[in-house]
């Protein structure tokens, strides 16, 4: 089975956000990057699925900058067999549609059977690329998966909604987006790190798709009104109740 | 007037509040709303969609299929020359909107906190990087596709659809829902609740977390939330996690108990209406975003607060 894990490089959770002078872009100088949190879960599920099936190959696919190979080597160290970096210097500004179209073209060409992606990339937070890519390809897609079984050319996934847990049955080829709880991503061992150095890392160019997203303005969130400590210990409860009832009027 | 198609979810013939908020957002932005519904009980729900001028019920297929339903929604958008497709930012809405967008070859926007008319189309405002910045965005696509964050918009005050019609879901499904285990507890999901009581590592262990549940129960309709630390520790399920790798919430009242307030947690709740923090460390970052704070031992403070809330609710 041809298994692909799509990963994205994103600013770290702690990265300080600065807006450029024209208010239309983020300043990227000094930002540290990581693989998006949910993409680690996607990679783990790809490797686990290959291990469970006892055959197949896992390719890591990413759209990123030419120097974005550090994160890819980490994925190879965690069990992927090979990697493909689709270079795009403007990768951070690529919108969900432009990303999905480029991935769809590549995944179709690769004849992928099963593709894993994170539930959402923790930069633009759109959760759109998985279902969009599948739609462009005419493939099945299940989002926010917390449990998965693959048998022959079919899959059964569990997803958590606001109102319960649903079972979704689907046919391959398919794209599965992974939620926390699906697995516990492994750490790269020394053996994996050594092996990763010899694994193939190919480079290509991401399909050029103009963005539709028009950035009108980017701003830092409005500061919250300064709050206050109403007191210490249980003795402060009446003061808090008074504030909630009479000031904030939420009770 | 511009037409917007809005996906309305429902339960037992009653439209979900999140969907009515989404309709309200579209109406407030000047759109004529055509509600689109599917599933058992859709007829009853359609009649109760306040703010919609019209409702269309799509039927067909065995069990909900997101791909087949998205195809039917895209056809409806084209047939009505709609300028927008909106859904609430629920599981179903977030799963559906990108599929509809791809069918129309337009870019979608998730979890929007503002929606407005702009140059014959629409403009949205939404958080990036889990709320560390807010982007105002437009599209060069023909249709604006967006989902709206829960608890941010108001449902339209009145007005039921003047016309309800039917349409077909005809595409063969590639994925479909084959069974649903409904939640056994009646407690609201953190995304939907107007009041959230959240706990963190300061509660010491999973057993002692019950003081958080008791306070939530005292409010009647509050949801229980959790920090990443205690979800990772296995005290609470991931569905309750608030933060960058959990859910983003905007309740009217958010009470953080024993939560220090790491950036990743603040990202998920800083747009809440009123924030209360209870923490023994007076320098905890959570106090920087809190409107009201109490410094001290949660095991003394929370039961006293629970009793006070119960007393108020008993009077009401």
pLDDT over 90 percentage in chain A: 90
Contacts of B175 in chain A (CB under 8 A): 140-142, 168-171, 174
CA B55 to chain A, closest CA, distance in angstroms equals 24
Residue B252: burial class (beta carbons within 10 Å; 0-12, 13-18, 19+): middle
> Pick from B145, B167, B150, B163: which is nearest to B52 by CA?
B163
Which whole-number Å values give the CA distances from B261 to B194, B204, B227, B270, B278, in the listed order? 20, 16, 9, 10, 11
Dihedral, B121, B125, B127, B133 alpha carbons, nearest 10: 120
Sheet holding B84-88, edge to edge: B108-112, B144-148, B84-88, B3-7, B32-38, B54-59, B163-168
Q: How confident is the model over A179-197, as a mean pLDDT?
A: 96
Segment B222-241, tens digit of pLDDT: 999 999 999 999 999 999 99
Min mean pLDDT across A125-129, A225-229, B46-50, B68-72 is at A225-229
Partners of A243 on chain B (C-beta within 8 Å) are 291-292
CB-CB neighbors (< 8 A) of A19 in chain B: 133
pLDDT category, A196, cuts 50, 70, 90? very high
How much is the pLDDT for A102?
Answer: 98
Q: Please report, for residues A140, B169, B225, the alpha-carbon distance to residue B235 in angstroms, rounded to integers and kept in the order given.
A: 34, 42, 12
Share of chain A above pLDDT 70, in %: 100
Min Cα distance A247 → chain B (Å) is 10
Q: Which of residues 148-167 of B touch A (CB under 8 A)?
A: none
| Nearest by Cα to A132 from B155, B210, B206, B106 | B106
Angle between helices B66-79 and B91-104 (to 10 degrees): 60
Query: Is-contact A173 A112, C-beta < 8 A?
Result: yes
B269 vs A70: CA distance, rounded Å: 33
Confidence of residue B221 (pLDDT cuts 50, 70, 90): confident
Contact residues for B202 (Cβ-Cβ < 8 A; gap 6+):
B257, B258, B259, B260, B279, B280, B298
Rounded to a whole number, what is the distance in Å from the CA of A135 to chain B's nearest CA? 6
Task: Give the model's confidence band at A67: pLDDT under 50 very low, under 70 low, under 90 confident, else very high.
Answer: confident
Say yes or no for a CB contact (<8 Å) between A122 and B289.
no
The mean pLDDT of A103-109, rounded to a whole number, is: 98
Cross-chain residue pair B129–A125, CB shorter than 8 Å: yes
Long-range pairs, B77-80, Cβ under 8 A, ≥24: B77/B5, B77/B104, B77/B143, B78/B104, B80/B3, B80/B5, B80/B34
- Chain A residues touching B67 at Cβ < 8 A: 134-135, 140-141
User: In this predicted structure, what is the pLDDT of residue A221?
Assistant: 87
Taking the CA of residue B188 and the nearest CA in chain A, the distance in Å comes to 8
Do B177 and A228 count as a contact with CB atoms less than 8 A apart? no
Complex-level ipTM? 0.96
Q: Hey, are the CB atoms on A237 and B67 less than 8 Å from each other?
A: no
Among the partner residues B140, B177, B293, nearest to A212 by beta-carbon distance: B140
**pLDDT, mean over chain A:** 95
The tens digit of pLDDT for each residue in B123-172 reads 999 999 888 899 999 999 999 999 999 999 999 998 889 999 999 999 99
- Crossing angle between the packed helical segments A96-110 and B91-104, to the nearest 10 degrees: 80
| Contact flag B309-A213 (C-beta cutoff 8 Å) | no
Can you give the pLDDT at residue B183?
Answer: 85
Q: How many residues does chain B have?
A: 316
Q: Which residue in A122, A135, A228 is closest to B292 by CB distance?
A: A228
Measured CA angle at B136 (ends B133, B142), to 5 deg: 140
Looking at residue B185, its pLDDT comes to: 80
pLDDT at A22: 93
Question: pLDDT (tens digit, 9 = 90+) per residue, B20-45?
Answer: 999 999 999 999 999 999 999 999 99
Is residue A70 exposed (0-12), middle (13-18) or buried (19+ Cβ within 10 Å)?
exposed
In this prediction, residue B61 carries a pLDDT of 85
**What is the predicted pLDDT for the residue at B64?**
96
Q: Would you say residue B3 has pLDDT above 90?
A: yes
- Cα–Cα–Cα angle for A9, B267, B213, nearest 5°? 125
- What tens digit of pLDDT does each residue of B192-207 get? 999 999 999 999 999 9
The confidence band for B62, taking pLDDT boundaries of 50, 70 and 90, is confident
The reply to whether residue A214 touches residue B128, judged by beta carbons under 8 angstroms, is no
The pLDDT, as a whole number, for residue A226 is 87
**Residue A152: CB atoms within 10 Å:** 7
* Partner A contacted by B89 (CB < 8 A): no
Residues 109-148 of B with CB under 8 A from A: 109-111, 123, 126-141
| Cβ neighbours of residue B113 closer than 8 Å, sequence gap 6 or more | B125, B126, B127, B134, B148, B149, B152, B250, B271
Q: What is the per-residue pLDDT for B173?
A: 97
Residue B1 has pLDDT above 80, yes or no: no
For CA atoms B44, B50, B54, B59, the dihedral sign is negative
Mean pLDDT of A61-70: 92
> Tens digit of pLDDT for each residue in B248-305?
999 999 999 999 999 889 989 998 999 999 999 999 999 999 999 999 999 999 999 9
The more confidently predicted of residues B62 and B135 is: B135
Of A96, A138, A143, the CB nearest to B95: A143
Pairing of strands A9-11, A154-161: unpaired
Calculate the alpha carbon distances from A1 to A53, A58, A134, A158 in Å. 8, 9, 18, 22
Spatial separation of the C-alpha atoms in residues B92 and A137, rounded to whole Å: 21
Q: Please name the helix (run of DSSP H) or strand (run of DSSP E) that holds residue A25, with its range, or none.
A: none
Q: Angle at which helices B91-104 and A129-137 pack, to 10 degrees? A: 40
Please give the average per-residue pLDDT across B298-316, as a whole number: 96
Residue A87 has pLDDT above 90, yes or no: yes
Running DSSP on this structure, what letter comes out for residue A188?
A: P
Is pLDDT of A15 > 90? no
Query: How confident is the model at residue A34, as a pLDDT?
Result: 94
The whole-angstrom distance between residue B130's C-alpha and the CA centroid of its chain comes to 15
Beta bridge partners of B116: B123
| Residue A34: its H or E element | strand A33-35
Which member of B177, B248, B252 has the closest CB to residue A166?
A: B177
Asked if A140 and B244 come within 8 Å (Cβ–Cβ), the reply is no
Torsion of CA B273, B153, B10, A146, to 10 degrees: -60
Residue A244 and residue B90: Cβ atoms within 8 Å?
Answer: no
Kindly state the average pLDDT of the residues A225-245: 96
Is the preceding omega at residue A173 within 30 degrees of 0, hence cis?
Answer: yes
């Amino acid at each position: 089975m041809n298994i692909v894990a799509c990963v994205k490089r994103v600013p770290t959770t702690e990265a300080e956000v600065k807006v450029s002078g024209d208010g239309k872009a983020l300043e990227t100088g000094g930002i540290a990057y990581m693989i998006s949190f949910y993409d680690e879960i996607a990679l783990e599920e790809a490797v686990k699925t290959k291990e469970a099936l006892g055959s197949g190959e896992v390719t890591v696919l990413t759209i990123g900058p030419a120097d974005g190979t550090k994160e890819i080597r980490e994925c190879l160290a965690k069990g992927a067999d090979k990697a493909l970096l689709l270079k795009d210097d403007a990768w951070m500004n690529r919108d969900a549609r432009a990303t999905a179209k480029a991935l769809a073209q590549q995944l179709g060409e690769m004849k992928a059977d099963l593709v894993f992606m994170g539930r959402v990339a923790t930069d633009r937070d759109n959760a759109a690329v998985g279902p969009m890519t599948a739609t462009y390809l005419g493939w099945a897609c299940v989002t926010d998966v917390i449990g998965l079984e693959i048998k022959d050319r079919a899959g059964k996934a569990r997803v958590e909604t606001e109102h319960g847990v649903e079972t979704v049955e689907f046919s391959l080829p398919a794209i599965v987006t992974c939620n926390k709880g699906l697995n516990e991503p492994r750490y790269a061992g020394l053996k994996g790190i050594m092996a990763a150095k010899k694994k193939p890392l190919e480079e290509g160019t991401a399909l050029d798709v103009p963005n539709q997203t028009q950035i009108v303005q980017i701003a830092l969130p409005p500061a919250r009104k300064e709050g206050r400590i109403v007191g210490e210990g249980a003795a402060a409860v009446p003061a808090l109740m008074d504030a909630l009832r009479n000031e904030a009027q939420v009770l | 007037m511009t037409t917007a198609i809005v996906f309305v979810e429902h339960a037992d013939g009653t439209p979900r509040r999140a969907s009515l908020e989404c309709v309200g957002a579209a109406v407030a932005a000047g759109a004529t709303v055509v509600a689109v519904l599917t599933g058992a009980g859709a007829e009853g729900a359609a009649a109760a969609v306040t703010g919609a001028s019209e409702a269309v019920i799509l039927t067909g297929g065995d069990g909900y299929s997101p791909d087949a339903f998205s195809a039917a929604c895209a056809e409806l958008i084209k047939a009505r020359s709609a300028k927008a497709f909106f859904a609430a930012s629920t599981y179903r809405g977030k799963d559906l909107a990108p599929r509809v967008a791809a069918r129309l070859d337009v870019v979608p926007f998730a979890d929007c906190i503002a929606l407005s008319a702009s140059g014959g189309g629409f403009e949205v405002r939404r958080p990036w990087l889990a709320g560390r910045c807010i982007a105002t965005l437009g599209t060069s696509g023909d249709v604006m596709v967006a989902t709206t964050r829960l608890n941010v918009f108001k449902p339209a005050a009145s007005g039921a659809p003047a016309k309800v019609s039917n349409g077909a879901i005809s595409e063969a499904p590639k994925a479909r829902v084959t069974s649903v285990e409904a939640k056994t507890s009646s407690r609201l999901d953190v995304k939907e609740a107007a009041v959230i009581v959240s706990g963190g590592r300061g509660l010491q262990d999973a057993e002692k977390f019950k003081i958080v549940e008791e306070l939530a129960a005292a409010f009647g309709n509050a949801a229980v939330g959790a920090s990443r630390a205690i979800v990772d520790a296995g005290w609470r399920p991931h569905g309750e996690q608030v933060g960058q790798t959990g859910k983003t919430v905007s309740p009217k009242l958010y009470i953080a108990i024993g939560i220090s307030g790491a950036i990743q947690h603040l990202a998920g709740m800083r747009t809440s209406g009123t924030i209360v923090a209870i923490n023994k460390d007076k320098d905890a970052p959570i106090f920087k975003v809190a409107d009201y704070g109490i410094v001290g031992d949660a095991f003394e403070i929370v039961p006293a607060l629970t009793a006070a809330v119960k007393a108020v609710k008993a009077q009401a």
